[in-house]
């Protein structure tokens, strides 16, 4: 179902925004019947509270919706999205004199998302109207890109294995007339041995999808890398059953990179965009890589396998090494990499790492502007010794259990040698329960942030 706003009509129902502190002034501006009804019901304007006032004929007259007061301890920029799920069928508009948050329409669209591949979709019976124009096109583009990523994550591994994820990436490339090439199977061994090692135990071959878009010369080089583990059993270090239940989302980094790329390409930003998606299934067979194995990497470093369930950093290592050879102006990777990041920051606040202070400041500003929050964790150099191996240059899974998100990021940093502006996002890509702007299921985190960041950077050129 496309996530779009409706064209303005004369009969749409106005949404009047208020708050606890503004409620009296808001009620004074309403028609007498609506004011009397709101007072009788006891509507208090609390953040997230809504009320549909009736007309004399029993229809919906207007909608009151409470926002947080300025300075409140918690202000959810996606709060307006709740209305997409609670309003009765009809067409609505934000009242012209309403002081609406910049994120209101986007929050509504993101909340309206439904995963319908395996169920007959319901008609889109709640429509928010907005004038046509560049702003509306941008919001719809962002929402549709997020929906693409969510669909990829929500699709189970029987229908979203390596072949299907490759085809989804190539379909996006075709949509925007991007150039694409794929390295698969045994051909990975010479240039991408870690990707091959992780995926060689699965029925569908491992592969690396390499997409390029934009002019071949001129414009900043932006490279996005996304972890594409279509299902993670943990390999021979097999996960417990409960830990496998959400492993269809282990390709969420790839979905995030493709969503961000869709936003950038649809906006036709003047950049040279590259998207690298290493795709595998971490499965179990006689061909699976083993604990204690040692493999070379594209960067020349040898890696001892301390745990086959730390596979994501291995496939990212080869992809990052390839990206780094091109010395992009900005290199970003997304990965559902560690449970440690979730323990530290929870599911809604992805961790990110960078040593570039300007980039860190830009990420913070864009996260705020795009209502796409993240939190910086340190690339703490003393922890590099945790990656030591007695038989190879690195161990992919140091023992001890401490600083898991940091040591994973430090592992990846070893493969980024030339590029100064690099950031690693350790994302969760899942909402366990529905919230405004974030339906239950697959979620795209940090893509809107990166789109905003790239937009700002090219605007300064």
Position 1 scores a pLDDT of: 55
Model pTM score? 0.97
How many Å apart are CA 375 and CA 394, to the nearest integer? 27
Position 58 scores a pLDDT of: 83
Q: Is 117 a catalytic residue?
A: no
Give residue-wise pLDDT tens across range 99-111.
788 999 999 999 9
Domains recognised in the chain with CATH numbers: 13-131 (3.40.220.10), 139-459 (3.40.630.10)
How many Å apart are CA 163 and CA 156, to the nearest integer? 13
Cβ atoms of 294 and 305 within 8 Å: the answer is: yes
Walk along the chain (461 residues) and give the pLDDT tens digit of each residue: 568 999 999 999 999 999 999 999 999 999 999 999 999 999 999 999 999 999 888 888 999 999 999 888 888 999 999 999 999 999 999 997 767 889 999 999 999 999 999 998 777 689 999 999 999 999 999 999 999 999 999 999 999 999 999 999 999 999 999 999 999 999 999 999 999 999 999 999 999 999 999 998 889 999 999 999 999 999 999 999 999 999 999 999 999 999 999 999 999 999 999 999 999 999 999 999 999 999 999 999 999 999 999 999 999 999 999 999 999 999 999 999 999 999 999 999 999 999 999 999 999 999 999 999 999 999 999 999 999 999 999 999 988 889 999 999 999 999 999 999 999 999 999 999 999 999 999 999 999 999 999 999 998 76
User: Choosing from 313, 413, 414, 457, which is the catalytic residue?
Assistant: 313
Give residue-wise pLDDT tens across range 280-338.
999 999 999 999 999 999 999 999 999 999 999 999 999 999 999 999 999 999 999 99
Position 73 scores a pLDDT of: 85
Q: Is 122 a catalytic residue?
A: no
Run of H or E including 265: helix 252-266
* DSSP track, 168-204: HHHHHHHHTT-EEEEEEGGGHHHH-HHHHHHHTTSSS
Give residue-wise pLDDT tens across range 246-296.
999 999 999 999 999 999 999 999 999 999 999 999 999 999 999 999 999
Number of other CB atoms surrounding residue 19 within 10 Å? 20
Coil vs helix vs strand at 74: coil
Coil vs helix vs strand at 148: helix
User: Choosing from 22, 91, 239, 435, which is the catalytic residue?
Assistant: 239
Closest CA to 226 of 168, 284, 271, 266: 168
How many Å apart are CA 101 and CA 83, to the nearest integer? 14
* DSSP track, 268-299: T-SSEEEEEEEEEEE--STT---TT-EEE-TT
How many Å apart are CA 326 and CA 320, to the nearest integer? 10
């Amino acid at each position: 179902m496309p996530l779009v706003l409706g064209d303005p009509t004369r009969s749409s129902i106005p949404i009047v925004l208020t708050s606890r502190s503004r409620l009296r002034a808001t009620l004074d501006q309403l028609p007498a019947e609506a004011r009397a009804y709101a007072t009788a019901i006891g509507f208090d304007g609390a953040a997230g509270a809504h009320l549909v006032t009736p007309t004399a004929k029993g229809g919906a007259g207007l909608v009151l919706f409470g926002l947080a007061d300025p300075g409140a301890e918690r202000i959810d920029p996606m709060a307006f999205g709740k209305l997409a799920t609670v309003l009765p069928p009809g067409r609505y508009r934000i009242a012209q004199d309403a002081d609406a948050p910049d994120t209101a329409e986007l929050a509504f669209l993101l909340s309206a998302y439904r995963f319908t591949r395996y169920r007959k979709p319901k008609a889109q019976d709640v429509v928010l109207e907005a004038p046509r124009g560049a702003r509306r096109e941008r919001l719809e583009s962002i929402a549709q890109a997020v929906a693409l990523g969510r669909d990829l994550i929500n699709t189970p591994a029987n229908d979203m294995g390596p072949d299907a994820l490759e085809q989804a990436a190539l379909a996006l490339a075709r949509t925007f007339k991007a150039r694409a090439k794929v390295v698969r199977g045994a051909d990975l061994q010479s240039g991408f041995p870690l990707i091959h090692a992780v995926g060689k135990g699965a029925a569908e071959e491992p592969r690396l999808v390499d997409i390029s878009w934009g002019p071949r010369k001129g414009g900043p080089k932006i490279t996005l890398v996304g972890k594409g583990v279509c299902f993670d059993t943990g390999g021979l270090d097999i996960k417990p059953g409960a830990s496998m239940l959400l492993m269809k989302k282990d390709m969420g980094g790839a979905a995030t990179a493709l969503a961000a790329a869709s936003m950038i390409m649809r906006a036709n930003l003047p950049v040279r965009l590259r998207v690298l998606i290493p795709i595998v299934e971490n499965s179990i067979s006689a061909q699976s890589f083993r604990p204690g194995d040692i493999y070379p990497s594209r960067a020349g470093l040898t890696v001892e396998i301390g745990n086959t369930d730390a596979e994501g950093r291995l496939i990212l290592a080869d992809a990052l090494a390839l990206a780094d050879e091109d010395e992009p102006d900005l290199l970003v990777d997304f990965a559902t990499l560690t449970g440690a990041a979730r323990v530290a920051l929870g599911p809604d606040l992805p961790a990110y790492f960078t040593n570039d202070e300007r980039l860190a400041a830009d990420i913070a500003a864009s996260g705020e502007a795009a209502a796409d929050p993240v939190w910086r964790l340190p690339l703490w150099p003393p922890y590099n010794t945790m990656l030591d191996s007695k038989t190879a240059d690195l161990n992919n899974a140091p023992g001890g259990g401490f600083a898991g998100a940091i040591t994973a990021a430090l592992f990846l940093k070893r493969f980024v040698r030339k590029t100064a502006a690099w950031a690693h996002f350790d994302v969760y890509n899942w909402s366990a329960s529905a919230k405004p702007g974030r339906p239950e299921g697959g979620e795209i985190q940090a893509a809107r942030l990166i789109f905003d960041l790239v937009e700002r950077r090219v605007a300064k050129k």
